[in-house]
Structure 1
Amino acid sequence: MKFSVLGALAAALLGSTVAASADPVFNRVASFPVNTNLPAGTDGKTETSAEIIAATADGMMLVYSDSPLGGVGFIDITDAAAPKPAGFVGLDGEPTSVAVLGGKVFAGVNTSQSYTAPSGRLVVIDIATRDVGASCDLGGQPDSVALSPSGDLVAVAIENERDEDLNDGALPQMPAGFLVLLPVKDELPDCANARKVDLTGLAAVAPEDPEPEFVDINAANEVAVTLQENNHIVIVDGASGEILSHFSAGTVDLENVDVEEEGALTFDGRLTGVAREPDAVQWLDGERLVIANEGDYEGGSRGFTILSKSGEVLHESGLDFEYRVAMAGHYPEKRSGNKGVEPEGLEVGRFGDDTLIFVLSERGSAIGVYRDTGAAPEFVQLLPTGVAPEGAVAIPGRNLFAVSNEADLVEETGLRSHVTLYERAEGATAYPMIVSRMDDAGRPIGFGALSGLAADPSEPGILYAVNDSAYAMQPTIFRIDASAHPARITDAIRVTRAGQPAQLLDLEGIVADGKGGFWLASEGRSDKLVPHALTRVDGKGEIKAQVVFPPELLAGETRFGAEGVTLIGDTLWIAIQRPWKDDPKDTVKLVSYNTATKEWGAVRYPLERAETGWVGLSEIALHGEQVFLIERDNQIGDNARLKKLYRVPVSALVPAPLGSELPLVAKEEVRDFIPDLKATGGYVVDKIEGFTVDASGTGYAVTDNDGVDDSNGETLFFSTGKM
């Protein structure tokens, strides 16, 4: 089975990338850090992860599996906007999935000692008492657990997963996986009448070694099972265990896709015969399925597919989802050569008259919402979430939707695993706040890591941003129409040297030069041969001049250099991010360069003292008789303390020669950005890095999403009003 996607979706995407109707929309109302639900006495830095999530019938409690902590967690969402930790039940093993029936939680628990000796159990937890009751031996390593709509059947996918380090992960690797069906009576599994369903001999890929990944059950007790690595789907009668149908998940051809991990977003490649290799599967109704084509072995077609239960392809999304993720700034460039945005999780929910499909991008950390039409689904909106969304549950009775985000980066960035909640109501979508468009070739303008912001000198609402070294092979100036809602990137001006993409730049600041071009500030790293420098480009992005920092300044250099630039008369002022070796404690330089006389100078700026980590500057912008500076710590989530806008009078910027005693300026606080960073119901992101004031006197700020690397990919763009 092969399906070709040749780029016809371009026209559909040209219109809009966000919902624009009077229909109800989802907005995030809360982000719950899972580490706040650690058992008493547990070290707060213990790794914890919300993987698969379920809800009680009344929609007041969420239940999630936590593999690294070895148990099941509970969250009270009586007030969805203020979820509360509701306890944790430790289990003897690694929980892989949860489902809820009445007052019980059904959890698959992996107890394997090795890949070659897999084992596991299905355990039942009483929600009221938190007691662990019934337990069924499953005979192998469980992955997905699903309950039938009527509550009389539970299905467990026994994956018996492969060792990816053995023979490069090549299949087959025994023992084979299978499916277990258990009758349910009085909210308890009937272990004695468990039925093992043999799935060998069905797939064209490693037929002797099926690896079931995900299960879902429809109202007729028909069980859909994905064999991800085998690129196969099986439909099983839940009552008898008879295989009703089975079929290959097929392949897809993709045109205009990013296939290289080269530090640039280039949607100009081609992939042919890509195996879908679905992870999650959900029934849309009694006749149709939807699969998320993540890939895990040799495939991954980056989208989702609707099929009949006999295997007929009814709709193939192709690159629609991936493009929408890219145009919201969430495309994970470091996964381009692999599986792109990696659609992994799925949920289907009936909200009012709408059947909605929720597609989870594991690597893009975004959720696409589509309306089932019976034919081609209609895109509704894109939702932000935490890092690596894995599980989802729709709660239509309360107009809620919840997602579990499994990544816990406590050792890397301090960012923790989260559960995010969304409410459906009338109103406007709060996110995305900035989007791009399709280019003239029918490809998305990819963006991310927006690290500096500048205003057009004469046209209100027109701004320019630069990306940093997350896209080292594609330094770019983005033109932004901030009057649109959401703000819209209308053009990408590539920074070039002799017509070729400029290298050895880490752009962190931008300002219009008043002559149709720009001055750019590059944060240097001498150990990587990236100079600390100012670069002048024309309106087409071609480099016309470069000014490196003088020896007197570089004598005290560290890697934390220029983080913003502005122009006052003939003088450029550069904000240095953090103290250099010759700076007194808790001070940093504002460096001046007179473009007419070529003279350098500086003043000192007083930084707030860091409670944890460090504090530094991330922007400088002129408006009237003041310069505005962003000062921030490097903390994220609940640990964030300082994300503020300050101002210094222009009259105080009287530079002294480098190497001499530098004057210390006084600052005044203008705005605390933390409420702005919490406004969409998410956690506080680390890097607010851009600020400017447009020609009408309106201020704008933007965050840097680190190129979606160890980040949830959010770019927050908002106005601060008249300045």
Structure 2
Amino acid sequence: MSAARTLSVLSIALASTTLAAKADQVFNRVASFPVATNIPGDQDKAHPSSAEIIAASEDGNTLVYSDSPLGGIGFIDITDPRAPKAAGYVKVDGEPTSVAISGDSVLAAVNTSENYKNPSGKLITIGLKSHETSTTCDLGGQPDSVAVSPDKSFAAIAIENERDEDLNDGELPQMPAGDLKIFSLKDGAPDCASVKTVDLTGLAEIAPEDPEPEFVDINENNEIVVSLQENNHFAIVDATTGKVTKHFSTGTVDLKGIDAKDDGKLEFTDNQDGRRREPDTVKWIDTDHFASANEGDYKGGSRSFSIFDKKGNVTFESGPAFEYELIRAGHYPDKRSDAKGVEPEGLAVGTFADSKYLFVLSERGSAAGVYKLGGEAPEFMQVLPSGIAPESAVTIPGRNLLATANEADLGEDGGARSHVMIYELGEGKASYPMLVSKDQDGKPLGWGALSGLFAAPDKAGMLYGVSDSFYKTQPTIFAIDATQTPAAITKAIRVTRDGMPAQKLDLEGITGDGKDGFWLASEGDAAKLVPHALYHVSAKGEIKQEVPFPQELAGNETRFGAEGVTKVGDLLWVAIQRPWKDDPKDTVKLLAYDTKGKKWAGAVRYPLDHAEAGWVGLSEITAHDGALYIIERDNQIGTAAKEKKLFKVSLDGLSPAPLGGELPTVKKEEVRDLMPDLEKTGGYVVDKVEGFTIDADGTGWVVTDNDGVDDSSGETMFFSIGKM
């Protein structure tokens, strides 16, 4: 495709964000299913369990997924999509890598390899309703992907025989070579004797002797498209004859305006030319065109998705356009910037009513892009929030449903478990994203890891937020216009010291200084040489004054320090997140600093609710109408989360006592349980409710911290709780 044509297509894709707002129908998430719910009763519920490849029954009432870590196939009843239920689990002898459904049969590809040099695998048939295994076919190698033809006459399996990435730095070739297996199906089950082995060697320019088939899909003409990911190649195979009818390189992409450095800041000024696509998932759009998610796995990854025709022509290339949409929604994973950016991996295609949609899954961005097909170029419609690391998706057009399988299970580290998420197409407004950034100088404005919030005192809906230490070299104050839907980040104010980006900050709180500047609270961490301190900055973000924490606290500090700051008259009140060494159990300090006298005025004690698991601490403090409003939360996530609440403490008679002596304990009053608010978008409850403020007309606003999309779903919830 010519450069001019590419730019034209990208312009259409980028401009389509505005068009999406006018759409009559949108996809919204209606439920999330933690797959650990499916773990059999005789097994440890804490064992890692993951939904990877997902399929749907023909009636659309059952979802089936492969679970590699636990070694089985899971079933989910979605008769009521808003209340999915565990519907059984079948253990298999080996590692299931993929599933497909043919009538009343589930076809599961299972890896039984002894090692990389001696790969083996099998294709097993499981009854969709009975859950009994009926057929087992030897595959002669390690399977990756399985697909069933639309007419249910064939099954195709990509035999990858994957490389050992630790051997010779993962260089190819590494024998034995992979191939493609084709089985005839009868009554939904494979006829093992009908197997055709398709030799894929000698096709690619890159390691032609060692093809590594990754993904397969079959169109209505029974043509199979197979991606050879590491080889940067495609092959088209006739399922009836097993002959390769066409093959071609997937080519390269020149990327402009990307972030290619893992350096703790979001700057989209880098270029990468000649980047191999190295596609993972491929999906037919029609009988003549297919889409590819260009993840990269060997020496490439173009951060894009592409559309090809069967002759090998690129008819559409997204370039960085898909990535840009995730950047605007706060889903850019900086810790993967140097490699593959948002890393598109999965795809799904479905026709809903008279509209055909393409869904592009970002493994590292933990989100899905929705595109409408049928025009000159795919039209971007919306970003959907997903769980962590979406691996695959399936459409159920007859029920207006979409489901994603999100493979990451972080339960062993106290994080979110793997989830299957369900979305429904219907009339209304998109519930997500709740906050997006406006482009600056023609480039998307990157953001994430929001912590504190502050409302301008003279303009309703005008807010300011700060990002924490995740972006260690780019501390930033963000201006937020909450009068728009979704709310918009309109400006980034970089925090500087002597004209350079300020270092050794972990900004967790922000408030106004009564003029046009700000006070910022930084949570210290001695292990990282980050001091506990307050910073007075100008409207331009320049640090004018640094206030270290009082000496009376020296020796008692922990890394769980300041989480919020607010101003009442001349006093700054600072919320400390968790008890320090000199605090009684289940209490924390609210510190007071006198801005006029430039001295610490003392502190009071705040009583914490007792934690059922993990810990409970403070996340925010804001003054309004004679009270201090305080966010109190546990550090639990998903079904384990119990406490995400807003309390208030009256300012009447509140007076800080000198540090070093007895401190008075304040009385708190519960204002709102935020758990129902956090459950409204159908996802699991996030752990970090970090920011709260009340704007000029008395409206309360809440924001959550998405941890910079690092071991996180990347979801930022930003919402109003009404007049206070």
TM-score bracket for the superposition, by shorter chain length: over 0.9
- Report if aligned partners of 1:294, 1:343 keep a CA contact under 8 Å in 2: yes
- Report if aligned partners of 2:97, 2:108 keep a CA contact under 8 Å in 1: yes
TM-score, length basis structure 2: 0.98
Which residue pairs with 2:207 in the alignment? 206
C-alpha deviations, 1:552-587, integer Å up to 9, x for none?
A: 023311110000000000110100000000001100
Which region of structure 1 is more displaced relative to structure 2, 11-20 or 635-644? 11-20
Query: Matches of residues 341-490 of structure 1 in structure 2 within 5 Å?
Result: 341-440=342-441, 442-490=442-490
C-alpha deviations, 1:614-661, integer Å up to 9, x for none?
A: 000000001110110000000000000000000001124200011111
User: Shift of residue 188 of structure 1?
Assistant: 1.4
Q: Distance in 1 between matches of 2:239 and 2:186?
A: 15
- Report if aligned partners of 2:17, 2:381 keep a CA contact under 8 Å in 1: no
- Report if aligned partners of 1:109, 1:122 keep a CA contact under 8 Å in 2: yes
Q: Distance in 2 between matches of 1:170 and 1:7?
A: 37
1:514 corresponds to 2:514: yes
Q: Which amino acid aligns with 2:165?
A: E
Q: Distance in 1 between matches of 2:18 and 2:126?
A: 43
Q: Which amino acid aligns with 1:93?
A: G
Q: Which amino acid aligns with 2:53?
A: I
Which residue pairs with 1:149 in the alignment? 150
- Report if aligned partners of 1:2, 1:251 keep a CA contact under 8 Å in 2: no
User: Shift of residue 414 of structure 1?
Assistant: 3.2
Q: Which amino acid aligns with 2:564?
A: G
User: Shift of residue 23 of structure 1?
Assistant: 2.1
Question: Tell me, which stretches of 5 or more residues in structure 2 are unaligned?
Answer: none
Q: Distance in 2 between matches of 1:244 and 1:52?
A: 28
Question: Tell me, which stretches of 5 or more residues in structure 1 are unaligned?
Answer: none
Q: Which amino acid aligns with 1:516?
A: D
Query: Matches of residues 90-105 of structure 1 in structure 2 within 5 Å?
Result: 90-105=91-106
Q: Which amino acid aligns with 2:98?
A: S
Q: Distance in 2 between matches of 1:3 and 1:39?
A: 54
C-alpha deviations, 1:298-333, integer Å up to 9, x for none?
A: 000001001101110100001111000011001000
Which residue pairs with 2:591 in the alignment? 591
Q: What SS does structure 1 have at the residue aligned with 2:214?
A: strand
Which residue pairs with 1:691 in the alignment? 692
Query: Matches of residues 142-181 of structure 1 in structure 2 within 5 Å?
Result: 142-181=143-182
Q: Which amino acid aligns with 1:137?
A: D
- Report if aligned partners of 1:52, 1:97 keep a CA contact under 8 Å in 2: yes
User: Shift of residue 11 of structure 1?
Assistant: 8.2
Which residue pairs with 1:287 in the alignment? 288
Q: Distance in 1 between matches of 2:17 and 2:343?
A: 23
1:315 corresponds to 2:316: yes
Q: Distance in 1 between matches of 2:28 and 2:361?
A: 16
Q: Which amino acid aligns with 2:447?
A: F
TM-score, length basis structure 1: 0.98
Query: Matches of residues 534-553 of structure 1 in structure 2 within 5 Å?
Result: 534-553=534-553
User: Shift of residue 598 of structure 1?
Assistant: 2.2
- Report if aligned partners of 1:14, 1:437 keep a CA contact under 8 Å in 2: no
User: Shift of residue 374 of structure 1?
Assistant: 4.2
For these two proteins, the number of residue pairs brought into alignment is 722
User: Shift of residue 44 of structure 1?
Assistant: 1.3
User: Shift of residue 14 of structure 1?
Assistant: 6.4
- Report if aligned partners of 1:34, 1:419 keep a CA contact under 8 Å in 2: yes
User: Shift of residue 684 of structure 1?
Assistant: 0.2
Structure 1 runs of 4+ aligned residues shifted over 2 Å read 1-19
Which residue pairs with 1:641 in the alignment? 642
C-alpha deviations, 1:226-256, integer Å up to 9, x for none?
A: 0000000000011001111101000000111
1:570 corresponds to 2:570: yes
Distance 1:14 1:378, change over 3 A: closer
Query: Matches of residues 126-141 of structure 1 in structure 2 within 5 Å?
Result: 126-141=127-142
Q: Distance in 2 between matches of 1:378 and 1:592?
A: 53
Q: Which amino acid aligns with 1:690?
A: G
- Report if aligned partners of 2:177, 2:201 keep a CA contact under 8 Å in 1: yes
Q: Which amino acid aligns with 2:453?
A: L
User: Shift of residue 456 of structure 1?
Assistant: 0.7
Q: Distance in 2 between matches of 1:6 and 1:555?
A: 59
Distance 1:679 1:127, change over 3 A: same
1:674 corresponds to 2:678: no
Q: Distance in 2 between matches of 1:59 and 1:129?
A: 17
Q: What SS does structure 1 have at the residue aligned with 2:411?
A: coil
Q: Distance in 2 between matches of 1:2 and 1:409?
A: 44
Q: Distance in 1 between matches of 2:281 and 2:104?
A: 26
Percent identity over the alignment is: 64
Q: What SS does structure 2 have at the residue aligned with 1:483?
A: coil
Q: Distance in 2 between matches of 1:486 and 1:22?
A: 15
- Report if aligned partners of 1:10, 1:438 keep a CA contact under 8 Å in 2: no
Q: What SS does structure 2 have at the residue aligned with 1:471?
A: coil
Q: What SS does structure 1 have at the residue aligned with 2:589?
A: strand
User: Shift of residue 42 of structure 1?
Assistant: 1.1
RMSD: 1.3
Which residue pairs with 2:115 in the alignment? 114
